[in-house]
Amino acid sequence: MAITDYVKNVDEIVKRWEQNPMLKPRIAKVTVNICVGGATERLSKAIRVLEQITGQKPVPRRAKRTIKDFGIRKGENIAAIVTLRKEKAIEFLKKAFEAIGYRLKASSFDEFGNVSFGIREHIMIPGVKYDPEIGIFGMDVAITIERPGYRVLRRKRCRKKHIPRRHRVTKEEAMVLLHQMFGVDIV
């Protein structure tokens, strides 16, 4: 299916972006997460895999609460996460989209233009070889898309309470942006 099946006014959106460059969204960050469910040897292997794929040092994440059925205690390291920004994020997304065949579901987009998808096996990413000592890991990739000027929510001085609805990224705009930047098809 083409992007025009999901977004009726692609030309109108692109025209608005060309007229006002402050309206064109950009990729703010890409978050890559591998959860193994416990502070075992698998967690250290997952951290090595993330470091190998992204080129950045991952941060272990702790469990928020105890879940006895899964053997997880509160405060125990159960996952590893990496946040990529700017050029590193773009380079990683090129590889990640190739791993999933440049196809995303329309349901993967939320109402504020953010996107999440999963990669079943890390060896599907181009340039990554299978290592029997490490094994195979799946991962979640979350893309945060925002417009220029969104920083007013996070800055220390003269912080604003909220961003108006008209300056937030819509689901359709995120679809058009990913189609333009990476050639992603929406299914």
pLDDT, one tens digit per residue, over 101-114 is: 999 999 999 998 89
Pair 80, 60: CB distance under 8 Å = yes
| Whole-angstrom distance, CA of residue 38 vs CA of residue 54 | 22
Pair 90, 172: CB distance under 8 Å = no
Query: For residue 158, what are the CA distances in angstroms to 28, 55, 74, 150, 151?
Result: 21, 35, 37, 13, 11
pLDDT score for 1: 53
Q: What whole-number percentage of the chain has pLDDT above 70?
A: 96
| Whole-angstrom distance, CA of residue 134 vs CA of residue 34 | 14
